[in-house]
Structures are given as structure tokens and as C-alpha cells.
């Protein structure tokens, strides 16, 4: 089954414009070429397998991969005999095309292959194109151009996303370190997660997700556990009352402190201290 739509350039665009789009479930060993075209052509494989040949090189491709054909370049591509591919394609041209493809690290001869398996976004943009068959030509042309920009921007973003992983990881760790430092410096105060996020300069939910990806716990959980750990140190090494210890680790309400302490440690602050004293007494007998 093939769906093919040609798009005339009624708007007389020169920067970027579509001339065709479509999709096809190919039959075994169905092929195109060898031949050259006078426009750019991107294929994106939804399922199945096939081969793509250009400049003396042969590429075995499968679902989630795609290939670029550039103007005036001879290519040949063929569906697999046992598992023929089902692909989308879009043909386009314009003076911006080469620059945009270069940003996606695509070159019709030296680097014609791409891969996108992160989600279904690329498939969705191609399906948007297919649905334009029902639109008037001028609408189809305008919306089709928008879908083409979305396809190209997705490919560009995918490349930069992969390149930025090390730097983004360093940035994430920097933000997380700021959070732990703020907690270390302010746990004795009535600091909130919103205040921490404001000081770090990130949205609270986003910062919390970054923090959780590193510590496997929320900022709130980390703050509570940090305060209780400091409380344990005070209960062990000082003679401060439970109420005083509560205030020293950021709790104005001793009752709330005791409830939180018991939830974390399994016993109350009073009995925690008594158990330490009993251990010390037994050790000295």
C-alpha cells in the first residue's frame, strides 16, 4: 500500500518548501533506483528492514532509522525479502535545506543515515503530513512546511541532545551539589523546598526530579533525614532537651519533631537517647 501526495509550491517559497510526502508498506525486494533526483528526500522506517546504497556504500537499515537522499546523487534502496520495510518519506528543497541538514549532521554522501528511537514524535510529524491529503492545497502547503520544520528540528535536537549529555550531567551535579550545600548551611532554619529552588534558580519540580535522579530520594526526604541525623548527634553528644534539639535542627514544634524522628528511626528521641545511655552503661559494666 502506498500513499503519495505531491505539493505544488503555490506560495513560491524559496527558503524551504515541500514537493511531496507519503508512506508505503513495501512488498519484498521492492526497490527504487539507481537514479538521482533534483530535490532532497528523507525516508524514516517505521517497521521492517532494507538496504540503502550510495557512493559505493551499502547500509542495512531497520525500524527507527532513516536515510537522506540529496539532489543529483545516485542512490538505490530495496526492501528486505523476508521483512520488507514500511517507511515514511518527505521530499523538499530550498536554499535553507542544506544548512538545516548540516545542523542535523546529515550529508547525502558521507553521512546519509540517522537514527531516532527516543519516542514516537518523529512518526507523529510524518503522520501529520499524511493527514494533509484532506486539506486544500494552500493549507496543505502551509501546514506541511510546519511539519517539515518540526521533523528537521527534531533531528537537530536529537543530535545536540546526544552531544550535550556529558555537559548536562555536569550541570545536573552542580545543581544537586548546591542543594546539599544549602541544606547543610540552613537545616537549622525553617527553610522550605521552594526557597531552596529559588536560591538554586530552577523550577521546584524540575529541581526535585534532578535531585531524585542522583540521590534516589526527594529533596524533602533528604532534608528530613539530614535533620534527624544531626538530631541523633546532638542527642548522643549533648545534654540538650528534646525541645532544644528540635529547635537546633529546624523544628519549631517539638511534637512534630518527635513524630518525624520516630518515623525515621523507629523510636522517639527520648527513648533513642535512653538506649544510647543503656548501651554505654552496659559497656562499662
| Final residue belonging to a domain, choices 141, 163, 185 | 163
**What confidence score (pLDDT) does residue 144 get?**
87
| 190, 153: one domain | no
| 211, 127: one domain | no
| 129, 226: one domain | no
**What confidence score (pLDDT) does residue 267 get?**
94
Distance in angstroms (rounded) separating the CA atoms of residues 141 and 18: 7
| 249, 121: one domain | no
Distance in angstroms (rounded) separating the CA atoms of residues 95 and 14: 6
| 60, 148: one domain | yes
**What confidence score (pLDDT) does residue 165 get?**
47
Half-sphere exposure (Cβ direction) of 241: Cα atoms closer than 13 Å: 4
**What confidence score (pLDDT) does residue 135 get?**
75
Distance in angstroms (rounded) separating the CA atoms of residues 275 and 285: 15
The closest alpha carbon to 152, from 98, 222, 101, belongs to: 101
| 127, 260: one domain | no
The parts of the chain modelled with pLDDT lower than 50 are 165
Q: Which CATH number covers residue 205?
A: 1.10.10.60
Classified as helix, coil or strand, 34 is strand
**What confidence score (pLDDT) does residue 126 get?**
94
For helices 165-186 and 219-237, angle between their N-to-C axes, nearest 10 degrees? 40
Are the C-beta atoms of 248 and 226 separated by less than 8 Å? no
Burial class of residue 268, CB neighbours in 10 A (0-12, 13-18, 19+): middle
The closest alpha carbon to 214, from 167, 165, 169, belongs to: 169
Distance in angstroms (rounded) separating the CA atoms of residues 129 and 145: 9
| 21, 67: one domain | yes
* pLDDT tens track for 136-179: 777 878 888 999 999 999 998 877 655 554 555 677 888 899 99
| 113, 229: one domain | no
| 67, 189: one domain | no
Full residue range of the structural domain in which residue 271 is found: 168-284
| Final residue belonging to a domain, choices 163, 178, 201 | 163
Residue with cell 519484498: 28
Distance in angstroms (rounded) separating the CA atoms of residues 200 and 204: 9
Q: Which CATH number covers residue 155?
A: 2.60.120.280
**What confidence score (pLDDT) does residue 173 get?**
85
The closest alpha carbon to 222, from 173, 257, 255, 187, belongs to: 187
| 239, 196: one domain | yes
Amino acid at each position: 500500500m502506498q500513499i503519495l501526495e505531491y505539493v505544488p509550491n503555490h506560495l513560491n517559497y524559496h527558503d524551504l518548501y515541500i514537493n511531496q510526502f507519503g508512506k508505503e508498506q513495501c512488498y519484498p525486494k521492492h526497490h527504487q533506483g539507481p537514479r538521482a533526483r533534483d530535490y532532497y528526500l528523507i525516508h524514516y522506517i517505521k517497521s521492517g528492514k532494507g538496504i540503502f546504497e550510495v557512493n559505493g556504500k551499502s547500509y542495512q537499515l531497520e525500524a527507527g532509522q532513516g536515510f537522506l537522499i540529496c539532489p543529483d546523487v545516485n542512490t538505490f534502496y530495496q526492501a528486505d525479502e523476508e521483512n520488507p520495510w514500511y517507511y515514511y518519506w518527505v521530499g523538499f528543497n530550498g536554499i535553507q535545506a542544506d544548512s538545516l541538514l548540516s545542523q542535523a549532521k546529515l550529508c547525502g554522501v558521507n553521512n546519509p543515515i540517522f537514527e531516532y528511537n527516543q519516542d514516537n514524535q518523529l512518526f507523529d510529524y510524518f503522520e501529520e503530513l499524511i493527514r494533509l491529503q484532506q486539506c486544500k492545497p494552500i493549507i496543505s502547503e502551509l501546514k506541511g512546511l510546519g511539519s517539515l520544520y518540526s521533523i528537521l528540528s527534531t533531528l537537530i535536537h536529537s543530535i545536540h541532545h546526544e552531544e550535550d549529555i556529558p555537559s548536562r550531567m555536569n550541570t545536573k551535579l552542580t545543581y544537586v551539589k548546591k542543594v546539599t550545600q544549602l541544606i547543610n548551611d540552613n537545616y537549622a532554619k525553617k527553610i522550605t523546598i521552594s526557597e531552596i529552588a529559588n536560591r538554586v534558580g530552577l523550577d521546584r519540580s524540575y529541581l526535585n526530579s534532578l535531585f531524585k535522579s542522583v540521590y534516589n530520594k526527594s529533596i524533602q526526604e533528604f532534608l528530613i533525614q539530614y535533620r534527624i541525623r544531626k538530631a541523633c548527634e546532638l542527642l548522643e553528644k549533648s545534654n540538650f532537651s528534646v525541645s532544644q534539639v528540635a529547635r537546633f535542627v529546624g523544628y519549631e514544634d517539638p511534637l512534630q519533631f518527635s513524630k518525624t524522628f520516630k518515623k525515621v528511626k523507629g523510636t522517639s528521641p527520648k527513648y533513642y537517647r535512653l538506649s544510647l545511655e543503656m548501651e554505654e552503661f552496659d559497656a562499662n559494666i
